[in-house]
């Protein structure tokens, strides 16, 4: 696996993972905002499910990043 060198080149898989983490963090921020602003009980339930799903994806991606770091 290609590691980050002094010239800043990064493994494309790592770049993609970091981009996915960034996008998921943004989606997580949105999900928290939606949850805090809904009042209808059905929308509260929907927001909870959405928030949990995004949280699970975020944790998964962070674990993948840790694994990638441990093998490089």
pLDDT of residue 6: 40
Q: How confident is the model at residue 35 (pLDDT cuts 50, 70, 90)?
A: very high
Token duo for residue 52: 């949990």
10 found inside a domain: no
pLDDT of residue 9: 57
60 found inside a domain: yes
Does the pLDDT of residue 55 top 50, yes or no? yes
What is the rounded CA–CA span in Å between residue 39 and residue 59? 27
**Prediction pTM value:** 0.79
pLDDT of residue 10: 73
Q: Rg (Cα) of the chain, in Å, rounded?
A: 16
23 found inside a domain: yes
56 found inside a domain: yes
29 found inside a domain: yes
For the segment 15-34, the average pLDDT, to the nearest whole number, is 97
- Total domain count for the chain? 1
Does the pLDDT of residue 39 top 70, yes or no? yes
2 found inside a domain: no
Give the structural domain span for 56: 17-71
């Amino acid at each position: 696996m290609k590691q980050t060198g002094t010239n800043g080149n990064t493994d494309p898989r790592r770049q993609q993972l970091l981009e996915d983490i960034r996008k998921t963090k943004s989606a997580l921020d949105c999900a928290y905002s939606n949850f805090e602003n809904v009042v209808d009980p059905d929308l509260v339930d929907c927001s909870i499910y959405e928030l949990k799903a995004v949280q699970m994806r975020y944790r998964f991606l962070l674990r993948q990043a840790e694994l990638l770091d441990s093998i490089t």
